[in-house]
């Protein structure tokens, strides 16, 4: 199929200003997101949260887009906003939008990370292209995490999330702004080449990280925060966790060490947005996957 309609989305999290201001920039200067073979629309997903400079008002908008949640009349600001976005861009399962690019930033030191929710031929080719264009970027997949995905971008069958960090919440960093724009440009170039059936030869295999679990922050006996990410783990996203390596430190100075198997990697290390769930970091497995030579 041809990708005819692309949606570029920022402000899914209201305090991630990079996406918000890139979207506003492209709304006034659409030439950056314009390509001959498809139409691009730019939108702010949660304007009320942007105005409040908060990630969300009631609940995380980027967890509201499972078919299950979209079909229930949940009475939160974000659930109702999700139903509205699903009407506008979707409906999920039969969406009017062929591809959604959702822009995010993280407080973790993750550089430019792409997140896909599917590992089909299209997405693997897109990721292989991105790895060619941006060798230091990291490809991650939530494909194995859940069947009925809850990301906004999952409204359309083709979707990718751009996650750039470290960026504190509520401010802009020029390096992250430029890196996010560069990443989006490469995605749009891929779509254009794909539509024109003019993709170059792509690498035969692709390295990607699959999310599979999270690690919680330490708690005290009352359930309050009892510690933090260990200083030796801070900023070391996408490095393998070594057996016995300190990962958390309690306020009394004692350490918690990694007791899991080898071959496991950490990301979203000390992500500020995950303190509401008292999460310390996400766990990933690194795999090499074959990239299909054609989409047939």
Residue 215 and residue 269: Cα distance in Å, rounded? 10
Residue nearest to Zn ion (CB): 104
Q: Which helix (H) or strand (E) holds 24?
A: helix 17-28
CB nearer to Zn ion: pick between 16 and 98: 16
Residues in a beta bridge with 165: 111
CB nearer to Zn ion: pick between 81 and 104: 104
CB of 55 to Zn ion, least distance (A): 7
Q: Which of 8, 13, 115, 195 binds Zn ion (CB under 5 A)?
A: 13
Contacts of 248 (CB under 8 A, 6+ apart): 215, 217, 218, 227, 228, 229, 230, 233, 255, 256, 280
List C-alpha distances in Å: 16 to 12, 158, 185, 272, 281. 8, 23, 19, 12, 19
The yes or no reply on residue 236 touching Zn ion (CB under 5 A) is: no
CB of 136 to Zn ion, least distance (A): 21
- Give the helix ranges, DSSP H, for 44-202: 47-52, 67-70, 77-89, 121-133, 174-195
CB nearer to Zn ion: pick between 13 and 186: 13
CB of 293 to Zn ion, least distance (A): 34
Contact window for Zn ion (CB under 5 A) among 98-106, 110-118, 165-173, 281-289: 98-106
Contacts of 126 (CB under 8 A, 6+ apart): 116, 160, 187, 190, 194
Q: Which of 69, 81, 83, 104 binds Zn ion (CB under 5 A)?
A: 104
- For 151, the token pair is 């990301």
CB of 274 to Zn ion, least distance (A): 11
CB nearer to Zn ion: pick between 104 and 158: 104
CB 283 within 8 A of CB 264: yes
CB nearer to Zn ion: pick between 13 and 230: 13
CB nearer to Zn ion: pick between 128 and 152: 152
Q: Which helix (H) or strand (E) holds 104?
A: strand 99-105
- For 261, the token pair is 């198997």
CB nearer to Zn ion: pick between 9 and 206: 9
Q: Which helix (H) or strand (E) holds 28?
A: helix 17-28
121-133 and 174-195 are packed helices; what angle lies between their axes, rounded to 10 degrees? 130
CB of 138 to Zn ion, least distance (A): 16
- Secondary structure letter of residue 107 according to DSSP: S
CB of 276 to Zn ion, least distance (A): 13
Burial string for 82-102 (b: 16+ CB within 10 Å, else e) reads bbebbeebbebeebebbbbbb
CB of 114 to Zn ion, least distance (A): 14
Contact window for Zn ion (CB under 5 A) among 9-17, 107-115, 192-200, 243-251: 9-17
CB of 167 to Zn ion, least distance (A): 10
Contact window for Zn ion (CB under 5 A) among 14-22, 43-51, 85-93, 254-262: 14-22
Size of the site for Zn ion (CB under 5 A): 3
CB nearer to Zn ion: pick between 119 and 271: 271
Token pair 């995380």: residue: 60
Segment 15 to 34, residues that bind Zn ion, using CB under 5 A: 16
Residues of this chain that interact with Zn ion (CB under 5 A) are 13, 16, 104
């Amino acid at each position: 199929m041809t990708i005819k309609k692309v949606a570029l989305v920022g402000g899914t999290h209201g305090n991630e200003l990079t996406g918000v201001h890139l979207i506003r920039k492209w709304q006034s200067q659409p030439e950056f997101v314009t390509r001959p073979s498809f139409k691009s629309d730019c939108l702010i997903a949660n304007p009320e949260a942007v105005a409040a400079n908060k990630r969300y008002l009631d609940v995380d908008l980027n967890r509201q887009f499972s078919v299950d949640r979209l079909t229930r009349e949940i009475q939160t600001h974000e659930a109702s906003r999700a139903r509205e976005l699903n009407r506008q861009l979707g409906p999920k399962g039969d969406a009017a939008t062929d591809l959604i690019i959702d822009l995010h930033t993280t407080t973790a030191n993750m550089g430019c990370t792409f997140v896909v929710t599917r590992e089909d031929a299209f997405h693997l080719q897109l990721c292989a292209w991105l790895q060619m264009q941006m060798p230091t970027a990291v490809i991650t997949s939530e494909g194995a995490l859940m069947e009925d995905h809850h990301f906004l971008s999952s409204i359309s069958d083709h979707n990718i999330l751009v996650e750039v960090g470290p960026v504190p919440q509520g401010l802009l960093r020029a390096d992250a702004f430029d890196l996010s724009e560069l990443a989006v440009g490469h995605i749009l170039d891929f779509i254009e080449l794909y539509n024109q059936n003019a993709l170059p030869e792509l690498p035969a295999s692709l390295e990607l990280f699959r999310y599979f679990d999270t690690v919680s922050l330490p708690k005290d006996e009352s359930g309050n925060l009892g510690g933090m990410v260990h200083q030796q783990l801070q900023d070391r996203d996408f490095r393998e966790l070594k057996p016995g390596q300190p990962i958390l430190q309690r306020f009394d100075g004692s350490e918690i060490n990694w007791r899991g198997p080898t071959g496991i990697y950490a990301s979203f290390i000390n992500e500020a947005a995950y303190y509401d769930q008292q999460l310390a970091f996400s766990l990933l497995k690194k795999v090499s996957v074959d990239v299909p030579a054609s989409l047939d």
